[in-house]
Amino acid sequence: MMSFVTLFSILSGVLSLSFIFSDDEKRTIHLSKDLVINNEVLIGDFLTDIAAGEQGEIVVAMNDLAQVRVFSKDGELVQTFGQRGRGPGDFQNLMSVSLHSGLIYALDGGANSKINVFDPADPDAAIAIGLPPLRTETGINVVNDKMLIDDEQLLITYLPATSNNNIGMELTSSYYLVNTSHSEDKSLIFESPARERYVARSETGFVNTTMPFGRTNHVARLGNRLFHMWTGDAEIQVYDMESWNNVGSISVDELADPIALEENDYRQLYRERLGIDSEDELEDLSARAANDMGLQMSLVSVTSMIENRDKLHDTFPVYNRLLSCGNYLWITAPHADRSKQHIKQLDGDGNVLASGTLPSSVDVKEIKNGKLYGTDQDDDGFGTVVRYEIDIR
């Protein structure tokens, strides 16, 4: 194992930062922040998903608390569901949440996945829909996401679990249609590249972590069409939801050329992963790492990335996220000004109807009834829920 002195030597040689910002883009989507639910109210910090109700209620998946929390449209806590455990209504790895017909569907992902169904009108009742893992030639694929198609069908995303047995293999995510009453009945709809991981062996040890600026999968629905986005590809695939045939693709021409990553982008990411603001704090990390296994692993992974820069991306993903609301698709994408990201409203044929920007720190989770919902961070780095009013003119 490489010594921490060597690790700090490598890190201190690359961690410096400077940014130049410019913005000459005309905007037609205007966003006005009208609500922040801060950490003092949320209590937890690991926010994995948000869903919004017809009356403006905000449902938040709190992974670290193993709870689904429901807030009023004014940001007041009104209900809490779930706890850490393995039974119906319990969570081990709360990953996503959605609303359908007045019920809350919350995914407990991983090897022993299930969907907990909560009824706000009957808080003590919970139904669990078991989702067994998928065994493939490359190992066990675990449930990573879900979309409710109707009362009887779910679209489930299976993600391959990275291990020593499949390093170097081309891994794929699988999308299955699952019956809510008989979850063992499932049909493969399509496959896609898997969410990217950085996996490497080096003198610093074995590293398996999130790929910097990695590519991910997203799906959105308009009527009887399903849109699938792999954020590393400009083409968004379109599926007919009656036949489940691929019926073509759309793209956003003005976003088709990905933005080049600069070394400053990686330096900033390394600092974020180490929890520091500048290289001046590296000496303090030495003392902290001695008794902090998590920090030791972060040091090992960052050092490995620095040593293996040729294995990392040279460009940002083409897109960040795909959502739908009413008759429109919404896309967010990287912006040349690193403090911002593009947001665009599209019709079902991929034509851009409106454009604007929002802070790059916002992870958009839902757009509904003229509001945008997402997660952000406060000045101390704690997770917050934010809501913006959308004004298109």
Q: Is residue 307 part of a domain?
A: no
Q: Is residue 170 part of a domain?
A: no
Q: Is residue 98 part of a domain?
A: yes
The pLDDT, as a whole number, for residue 19 is 33
The pLDDT, as a whole number, for residue 24 is 46
Q: Residue 131's closest CA among 192, 178, 70?
A: 178
pLDDT tens for the chain, 393 residues long, are: 555 555 555 555 555 433 333 344 456 899 999 999 999 999 888 999 999 999 999 999 999 999 999 999 999 999 999 999 999 999 999 999 999 999 999 999 877 899 999 999 998 889 999 987 888 776 778 898 999 898 889 999 998 877 766 677 778 899 999 988 887 888 999 999 988 888 887 676 678 888 999 999 999 999 999 999 999 999 999 999 999 999 999 999 999 999 999 999 999 999 989 988 887 787 778 778 888 888 888 888 998 999 889 989 999 999 999 999 999 999 999 999 999 999 999 999 999 999 999 999 999 999 999 999 999 999 888 999 999 999 999
Tokens of 212: 């910097």
Q: Is residue 121 part of a domain?
A: yes
Q: Is residue 171 part of a domain?
A: no
Assign 3-state DSSP to the chain and report helix, strand, coil percentages, each to 5.
Answer: 15, 50, 35
The pTM (predicted TM-score) of the whole model is 0.89
The pLDDT, as a whole number, for residue 12 is 57
Q: Residue 20's closest CA among 292, 262, 226?
A: 262
Full 3-state SS string of 337-393: CCCEEEEEEECCCCCEEEEEEEECCCEEEEEECCEEEEEEECCCCCEEEEEEEEEEC
The pLDDT, as a whole number, for residue 2 is 55
Overall domain count for the chain? 1
Q: What is the CA radius of gyration of the chain?
A: 21
The DSSP code sequence of 26-54 is: --SEEEEEEEEE-HHHH----EEEEEE-T
Please state, in angstroms and as integers, the Cα–Cα distance from residue 76 to each residue in 58, 59, 69, 96, 118, following that order.
Answer: 9, 11, 10, 21, 19
Tokens of 9: 């030597």
The pLDDT, as a whole number, for residue 183 is 79
Pairing of strands 83-84, 90-91: parallel
CATH number, domain of 114, equals 2.120.10.30
The DSSP code sequence of 175-230 is: EEEEESS-TT-EEEEEEEEPPPEEEEEETTEEEEEEPTT---EEEEEETTEEEEEE
Angle at CA 143, nearest 5°, toward 140 and 148?
150
Q: Give the Cα separation of 110 and 94 in Å (integer).
A: 9
* 376 φ/ψ angles, rounded to the nearest 5 degrees: -150, -170
b/e code 33-43 from CB counts within 10 Å (16+ = b): eebebebeebe
Those residues with Cβ within 8 angstroms of residue 91's Cβ, 6 or more apart along the chain or in another chain: 63, 66, 67, 82, 83, 84, 85, 106, 108, 116
The residue whose two tokens read 């960040």 is 320
The pLDDT, as a whole number, for residue 164 is 67
Tokens of 232: 């590393």
Contact 88, 127 (CB under 8 A): yes
Q: Is residue 216 part of a domain?
A: no
The pLDDT, as a whole number, for residue 62 is 96
Q: Is residue 316 part of a domain?
A: no
The pLDDT, as a whole number, for residue 337 is 97
Contact 170, 139 (CB under 8 A): no
Tokens of 153: 């069908």
Name the strand (E) or helix (H) holding 9: helix 4-12
Residue-range definition of the domain harbouring residue 107: 38-131
Q: Is residue 138 part of a domain?
A: no
